[in-house]
Chains A and B, each alone.
Chain A
Amino acid sequence: DVVMTQSPLSLPVTLGQPASISCRSSQSLVYSDGDSYLSWFQQRPGQSPRRLIYKVSNRDSGVPDRFSGSGSGTDFTLKISRVEAEDVGLYYCMQGTHWPLTFGGGTKVEIK
């Protein structure tokens, strides 16, 4: 199975400051069609996960543009340009290139 490793585990951030979460896969996530199936999910306390980004850098409808995804091959990053209070929660990366689908262990974003 593809192992997804996220860092850091915990990310204290000052409101209005940027934040960055890293996700590394144990194998390349480039699929035979040329796309990389790497998604990012946000899970606010007590809520269901919500997808923010699919195929590395595509924002889902309704996702604020302060969220952006980048990366290629085995290294990927989720960036929040200016953290707001509503961004507190857990963030997971997930690969969908190889079966079974696998998630990273999660990064907890909190306000300093």
Chain B
Amino acid sequence: EVQLVQSGAEVKQPGATVRISCNISGYTFTDSYIHWVQQAPGKGLEWMGFVDPEDSRSVYAENFQGRVTITADTSTDTVYMQVNSLGSDDTAVYFCATGLTIPQGGYWGQGTLVTVSS
């Protein structure tokens, strides 16, 4: 069974940094890109970027470029997503997902709520 298990909820102050993890099991880690998707409260889904675990290449959406870093650790089959300089509009649930467009992908983590508040 494929499982994507994300780290727990976080509360951060404005200007802080948050790092979320996503551990993948039951799936060949290097089989596909691992994506991150943001869902603000009551809003839709926004793609943030992906990492290719095979070569550690990352690609980011323009809205997140420069402030988000996605990395992969092949020794633990874990992907990390770090967001710097948090602001109130970063309050959201963040999801990791495998290979959003390919047949063998489409799996999602349970989501991690990040609350930015002073």
Contacts and interface: CB of A to CB of B under 8 A. Distances in A.
B16 interface: no
Given A100-B47, A101-B47, A103-B47, A48 B101 contact: no
B100 interface: yes
B9 interface: no
B101 A96 contact: yes
B45 A48 contact: no
Given A48-B110, A60-B106, A37 B47 contact: no
A51 B35 CA distance: 14
A34 B46 CA distance: 26
Contact of B100 (A58, A94, A99, A104): A94
Given A49-B45, A103-B47, A106-B44, A96 B108 contact: no
Question: For the side of the interface on A, what is the size category?
Answer: 20 to 34
Interface of B, secondary structure class, is: loop
B62 A100 contact: yes
Contacts of B101: 37, 39, 54-55, 96, 101
Interface of B: 35, 37, 44-47, 59, 61-62, 95, 97, 100-103, 105-111
Given A92-B45, A103-B44, 17 more contacts: A37-B101, A39-B101, A39-B106, A41-B45, A49-B97, A49-B108, A51-B100, A51-B105, A51-B108, A54-B102, A92-B44, A101-B35, A101-B47, A101-B101, A102-B47, A103-B45, A106-B45
